[in-house]
Structure 1
Amino acid sequence: MHLAMRAGFRCSMRGCGVLTIGPSDESAESVNSIGVASHIHAAAPGGRRYDQDMTAGARRDIRNGIWLCASHSVEIDRDEARYTPDALRGMKSDHERQIADELNSGRGFLRGSDLVAIGPDIVVFGELLGTSGREWSIRIDHFVQGDIRTLIDFIEGFQKRDPFDSYLIVNALGDGRQLASEPAWRRVGKSMELTCAVKDSFPREDARDLEATAATGPTNDFLIEGGDIATVSGVNSLPQRIKQMLSLLQGESPSNPKAGSRIKEYLDDFGDSPWLERWFKLDVIRLTCVPYHDRIFDKVYSLVPSVRYVEEVQVLPGERDGGWQKVRFRLGVEGVGP
């Protein structure tokens, strides 16, 4: 029962979240349940992901369980290669954090909603309704930054806008697109529906092919090896590249003032609020998916290379060291995977 309660009686499978319990017409006290307490490591030899080194107590422990709907409990047992123990533990942890966030923030019936950005000055709470070719539809529940007038100004001034500031970012998707033309909106009941023509996803460079760059230490100082500046390349250079771009404030570079992040701005505005991670994620997605035109070298590239989607951004509590804030990322990387 505690496993189900920690999951909010919802399926822990990413992208599902279906409610697994509700009233039955059998009697005034009856309930219907489609939830299943599934094992991460099987309880007996021959089962999926069985670990012979586990004790019997560890197999029965709540930490070896994940709450799923009936359909997804079958799916994880039919695809052991995809649903590894680490993948299931990560899924369970993410789901429980989302449930805790919902409980603390009072999102209630807006559970499927998250932050959506339309350019740099409009952020709404809404949901991706669907896509059709290069057309994306967004439901807007309410404005978090900007308002309907800001949206109309964005639409009317679209043709004069810098393409780097013309984008649609969907936090729940962990991805976004550059806009191909001005959006259109209409009122639907108490919400608004936004229709956006988008460009194709900007191609990402295989992380294994990233060129060598100067290696830096914890405070972004160059590392010296044998009297020379050390270098790092390929996948090993990606964490450093992410750190450097997020540490560069937008407007800080005289030659490329639009490059850089808004992380510091969000840290100042939202501090320890439960919204902070959502804003961080929104900006990391922007830096990965919106192509940047470097006018110095006349080159277009992604400011954070090789990242195809941003699954999670977790600000580590109590981990700030001087001017540095520690953040954990879960990313989808070109040429590597999750």
Structure 2
Amino acid sequence: MDRPGNFSEKTKRAVAARSGWHCSFAECGRLTVGPSEEAPDASANIGEAAHICAASPGGRRYDPKMTHEQRSDINNAMWLCVLHARLIDRDEATFSVENLHTMKEAHEASCARAISSGSGVAFGSGLFAIGPNIVCTGVFTRIEATQWTLQLTHFLSGDIHQVASYISEFGDASADHKYILSNELGDGRILSAPPSLIKDATGISLLCPVESNFPRSDVQKIGSSLAISAETNDLYLDERGSIARVSGLDYLPQLIRQNLSIQVGESVFDPSFGMRIFEYFSEYSGSPWLALLFKLDMVRQASIPFFNTYQEQRNTPLRCVTRVHSFEILASAPTDNRLPIHVDCEIKGLGRWKKEMSIYMPTAEQMEERKKILAVRPPSFARKKT
């Protein structure tokens, strides 16, 4: 069991990613992770998430006013190589709380510039998702009609062992968990068979057998819905006094806004449906990775079909979106549960389409309340196996 104040594995991965897997100590910048020669699924890690304020009494820079949650929060974590993780705990006078926060902020700002410019090996590589629990950086080495091959570099979520487990348990996974997503392509594919891991002198590669691109609908054939006001998020009346409806191209902004506003874990009909915006915002707020992760999740909504157990059909949630070019976040935090964004997509039957909109993002308290509701949801809402 983890001791109070210790960092979770998720927090450790997030702080490592925010630092670009390089030591955050001033003028160090040493790469802290890479492939190991021990086994194809092994990696060498010389980095660790160090506490800025100690986790327990007696440690360097311990602050008794902090709660256990604050001590284990990512804001109290700093990614360092082993050498500098030990060094900061030997000299509290030199390495004060303020000094360490300044180092961390400067290093993460440098990483942000590198990601924005595409400079550096780690930052120039693409972002991929393999199933729902693995997000990593890497580069394409080959793209064929029936197979994508990529070389893995670093993990934001999961690790090489989880990749190996995903491969071995592929046959038992649900249909909508068998996919690969690429930020570089702005698209994704259903995996037709388990991926294969290969290690050679150049690193670790993943061979992914893929199906053909899932067919999308023409924007004029995406159907219709009751119109929802983008300002009030409520129904409104048309010029005839009836409840307004939208269809086709007029329905597109609402369709995208509604789908991007549903969080994984919110739906009483299927808790696995939706976006991971709340989760990613909690871990990567203020980091350039945030918009990249949002884009990757929108790619999933655009390219991976979801089986609707009530309509008995498979379709991509965004239906007519064939490619996601970019996803921009226009504010540092939501206001009144609304986060302004800008999306740039390719739409079947239309072409390039850009739009600013505000999407719903719940608070931590609202998500907890939703979990309680889902815990007692009627059995008839349980998800069917596909």
Provide TM-score, normalisation by structure 2.
0.59
- Please show how residues 180-219 of structure 1 align to structure 2 within 5 Å: 180-189=192-201, 191-218=203-230, 219=232
- Of residues 132-141 and 283-292 in structure 1, the stretch that sits farther from structure 2 once superposed is 132-141
Is residue 2:240 matched to residue 1:224?
Answer: no
For residues 298 and 305 of structure 1, what CA distance do their matches in structure 2 show? 16
* SS of corresponding position for 2:279: helix
- Say if 1:116 and 1:123, in contact at 8 Å, map to a contact too: yes
Is residue 2:151 matched to residue 1:147?
Answer: no
Is residue 2:250 matched to residue 1:236?
Answer: yes
Give 2:307's aligned residue. Answer: 293
Consecutive unaligned residues in structure 1, runs of 5 or more: 1-98
* SS of corresponding position for 2:137: strand
Give 1:245's aligned residue. Answer: 259
- Distance apart, 1:111 and its partner CA: 4.8
Structure with bigger RCO (C-alpha 8 Å, 6+ apart): 2
Tell me which amino acid in the other structure corresponds to 2:259.
M
- Distance apart, 1:308 and its partner CA: 0.2
For residues 189 and 274 of structure 1, what CA distance do their matches in structure 2 show? 31
Give 2:93's aligned residue. Answer: none
Task: Give a deviation string over 1:189-246, Cα, whole Å, max 9, x none.
Answer: 3631100001111100000222121111124211222442211111121111111011
Tell me which amino acid in the other structure corresponds to 2:235.
F
For residues 103 and 113 of structure 1, what CA distance do their matches in structure 2 show? 9
- Say if 1:259 and 1:303, in contact at 8 Å, map to a contact too: no
- Say if 1:255 and 1:296, in contact at 8 Å, map to a contact too: no
* SS of corresponding position for 1:264: helix
Equivalent residue for 1:313, pick from 317, 322, 327: 327
Task: Give a deviation string over 1:82-134, Cα, whole Å, max 9, x none.
Answer: xxxxxxxxxxxxxxxxx974267995134541210000111111012221221
Percent same amino acid at aligned positions?
33
Equivalent residue for 2:344, pick from 314, 330, 335: 330
Over 3 Å counting, the alpha-carbon distance change for 1:127 and 1:106 in structure 2 is closer
Task: Give a deviation string over 1:33-73, Cα, whole Å, max 9, x none.
Answer: xxxxxxxxxxxxxxxxxxxxxxxxxxxxxxxxxxxxxxxxx
Give 2:276's aligned residue. Answer: 262
* SS of corresponding position for 1:193: strand
- Say if 1:311 and 1:330, in contact at 8 Å, map to a contact too: yes
Over 3 Å counting, the alpha-carbon distance change for 1:248 and 1:169 in structure 2 is same
* SS of corresponding position for 2:338: coil
Over 3 Å counting, the alpha-carbon distance change for 1:103 and 1:254 in structure 2 is closer
- Say if 1:128 and 1:170, in contact at 8 Å, map to a contact too: no
Consecutive unaligned residues in structure 2, runs of 5 or more: 1-110, 353-386
For residues 105 and 316 of structure 1, what CA distance do their matches in structure 2 show? 19
Over 3 Å counting, the alpha-carbon distance change for 1:251 and 1:337 in structure 2 is same
- Say if 1:116 and 1:168, in contact at 8 Å, map to a contact too: yes
Give the CA RMSD over aligned residues: 2.0
Is residue 2:318 matched to residue 1:304?
Answer: yes
- Please show how residues 53-202 of structure 1 align to structure 2 within 5 Å: 101-102=113-114, 108-189=120-201, 191-202=203-214
- Say if 2:118 and 2:124, in contact at 8 Å, map to a contact too: no
- Distance apart, 1:148 and its partner CA: 1.3
* SS of corresponding position for 2:138: strand
- Distance apart, 1:304 and its partner CA: 1.0
* SS of corresponding position for 1:265: helix
- Say if 2:152 and 2:206, in contact at 8 Å, map to a contact too: yes
- Say if 2:129 and 2:181, in contact at 8 Å, map to a contact too: yes
- Distance apart, 1:324 and its partner CA: 0.6
For residues 115 and 306 of structure 2, what CA distance do their matches in structure 1 show? 38
**Superposition misfits of 4+ residues, deviation over 6 angstroms:** 103-106
Tell me which amino acid in the other structure corresponds to 1:149.
H
- Please show how residues 44-55 of structure 1 align to structure 2 within 5 Å: none
Q: How many residues align?
A: 240
